Chains A and B, each alone.
Chain A
Amino acid sequence: MTTTAIPPEAKHAPATAPKRRPKREREGAAWVFLSPWVLGATVLTLLPMAVSLYLSFTDYDLFNPPQWVGLRNYTQMFTEDPRYWRSVLTTLTYVVIAVPLQLALALVVALALKGMKRGKGFYRSAFYAPSLLGASMSIALVWRAVFNDGGTVDNLLGTGGWVNKPGFSLLAVALLTVWQFGAPMVIFLAGLQQIPAELYEAAAVDGAGKWRQFLSVTVPMLSPVLFFNLVLQTIQAFQVFTPAFAVSGGKGGPADSTLVYTMYLYDRGFVASHMGYASAMAWVLLVVIGVVTAVLFRTSRSWVFYASEGDR
């Protein structure tokens, strides 16, 4: 950190040893090349984060200057706001439904594609496509139409509109995420292809069937990749917004059933004009995601197997 933090001006400083001069100059050039990124990171990331941290201790309605209120936003959130806890519960439910389903589906499809001889490229692209499209609002709106009353699913299954039933709406939101399993699938596929064929041959010689091979060879060898996907998808799931926003028409409804954390944050900030409160919520989310990730890393020690430390 200390060496990289030398500002570009440092190259004008008298060099202590003439031999080091070219290196310093190269460093200066590096800073020039980095400057757009540094500028972007500062102006677009660090500065807004600092402002948001400040706002989280204020009452700010977007129109009048922020009023310092100390920890009031935080205490209000934890002790006086039932909807806050509802949104926490909804988000946790969503994470527990969406992440395992998505990873399971990604793994199953990756396994199927791995053994495939022809048309692999086509299927890989076909399954990956939803992940490229998925973040867009348009797909989420299509989803809403599909699960709406009078929509495709209603017509086929006679379920009524899922997005209008408080008991099913969150599932409809989760399914949109599950459907976008392409990214973890591609990573699984890459992981699967790294597993040496000899291991399977040895297992087969020892009399292991397909299922035994999967449990004793594939799962341990794939565990680092599985762990990577789990961490990544969990972090993403905690921040789910677009599907919930689009499926509920921006309201987190019906009856608050799709009011995930970020939706409530949005509602506080942009609908009710309580930007300070919304900022406080954002910082709590950041801390929670940090804690959850740390816990995942801690538990990973007992189940993630790295080949390099296999003899430990």
Chain B
Amino acid sequence: MPGHRTTGFCASAAALALCVMLAGCSGSGETAGGGKVVLRYTWWGNPDRAARTEQAVALFEKQHPNVDVTTSFSGYDAYKQKLATQAAGGDAPDVMQLDYRQIDQYASGGVLLDLAQQKSVLRTSEIDQGLLATGRVDDIQYAIPQGRGTETVVHDVTTWKKSGVPLPGESWTWSQWADAMRALAKKTGRPGATDPGQSEDAFEVWLRGRGKSLYTEDGGLGFTAGDLTRWWTFTDKLRREGAVSPAEQTTQLDGSVENTPLGRGKATADTNWDAPSSGYLALVPSGVALAPMPSGEDGTPGQYFKPSMFLGVSANTGHPKEAAQLVDFMINDREAAKILGAGRGIPVNETIRDEIGPELKDFDKTIADFQASLDGKLKDPPQAPPSGDNALQTTFQRDYDQVSYARMSPREAAENYVTEAKAELRS
């Protein structure tokens, strides 16, 4: 009977459509076949961090047989964009690594869970209160800092020694740094370092060395077009002299160590954060060393200790308890800390830091020693950057492209940037 057939089709078609919709809609909170809780954990980083993280996660799964953690990672730029899209769609991963620059936006957008709700499984008593506060917005603990990091001049120490140029000492100024880069370029026949003009982070260090800051306390711009012109004139001159990387190399930077001139064997030094600098070891087999960032001409230090990254839990997670357990494990577990080392910065749990500190090996020890050499010498970190800053990092690099390709003068580009930044911070 045709009628019967139609009803049958109707039912199966409806069922099919429903299945498709359900499959599409089920976000976090899913459980695996065996009744296991499935957590999604995402982060950015390099292959070195990936290996350590996988190992730590395996240990967590062993301790919590009812939980299955699926991880994914990518480079910083790609991660930032993907996470923003996921978060906007209400599909943020259960546990996510966050940057200082993301906390404000994500917290105010309702993406993050109030971690105080999970106090019973997530301990924060052994974290320095000042550091812990960096994960707070409006007095709510949205994220836990995972490590302490600082910027560094990371360099191919063998090549540097061979060139006969004196190695960087305990401290140096920007003009001493520039002279060293010129000397290196002369002796090695290739740029001394990555052109720091493209890096908002390097600019911040330079700016702080002159007693200024990127942002004012009320979230406005803390510097003028004149300041930025001076910085870009300085780096532009070095690039023209061949002391730092040419535009063709600088434009390839995407936040991964693999695409830096140092990582590609085309320069002797780079400016980077200390934790990801471990990634250079695989690319510069003769070894890299860490030197402090240059200070202002009067010796004012520009670099600072920054919470290197945070862990946050999605407000939409179906398993807040298990997610908090994973965060607790990554931050407070002794065994996990041993595996993770200093790959995400020096541990924030003070007991663990004291215990693990002397046991740190290889590059982790290098990072720990480097940070210890700066302890007590640096100024306080700035407050968390305002929301609009997220887009401005890219704008900074793009506007400097115009300078390094000689399409704009440093002044034109600086004025461009300040206009764009003001518009971005207002909206």
Contacts and interface: CB of A to CB of B under 8 A. Distances in A.
A70 interface: no
Contacts of A62: 84-85, 87-88, 109
Contacts of B6: 25, 28-29, 32
B27 interface: no
B81 A271 contact: yes
A149 B248 CA distance: 8
Given A149-B249, A270-B84, A255 B405 contact: yes
Interface string A35-55: 110010001000000000000
Interface residues of B, number: 42
A36 B85 CA distance: 27
Contacts of A223: none
Contacts of B87: 62-63
A171 B300 CA distance: 47
Interface in A219-238: none
Contact of A35 (B17, B108, B424): B17
Contacts of B252: 148, 164, 249
A130 interface: no
A63 B13 contact: no
B251 interface: yes
Contacts of A255: 251, 398, 401-402, 405, 407
A272 B390 CA distance: 7
Contacts of B407: 166, 255
A35 B84 contact: no
A271 B394 contact: yes
A272 B391 contact: yes
Contacts, number: 98
State the majority secondary structure of interface residues on A.
loop
A2 to B, nearest CB: 23
B110 interface: yes
B254 A29 contact: no
B405 A166 contact: yes
A63 B2 CA distance: 51
Given A62-B88, A63-B87, A273-B390, A164 B13 contact: no
A251 B248 contact: no
A249 B9 contact: no
Contacts of B88: 62-63, 275
Nearest to A28: B6
B126 interface: no
Contacts of B10: 32
Interface residues of A, number: 36
B401 A63 contact: no
B421 to A, nearest CB: 12
B2 A25 contact: yes
B257 to A, nearest CB: 15
A253 interface: yes
A160 interface: yes
B405 A251 contact: no
B77 A250 contact: yes
B248 A164 contact: yes
B417 to A, nearest CB: 13
A36 B17 contact: yes
A35 B11 CA distance: 12
Contacts of B390: 273
Contact of B251 (A160, A254, A272, A274): A254
A64 B108 contact: yes
A256 B398 contact: yes
Contact of A32 (B9, B77, B387): B9
Nearest 9 interchain pairs by C-beta: A63-B109, A62-B88, A164-B248, A272-B391, A254-B251, A255-B401, A255-B405, A32-B9, A270-B81
Interface of B: 2-3, 6, 9-10, 13-14, 16-17, 21, 77-78, 81, 84-85, 87-88, 105-106, 108-111, 247-249, 251-252, 254, 264, 387, 390-391, 394, 397-398, 401-402, 405, 407, 424, 427
20 contacts: A33-B9, A35-B14, A39-B17, A61-B105, A62-B85, A149-B248, A160-B248, A164-B248, A250-B77, A250-B81, A251-B394, A251-B398, A253-B251, A253-B401, A255-B398, A255-B405, A267-B394, A270-B81, A272-B394, A273-B84
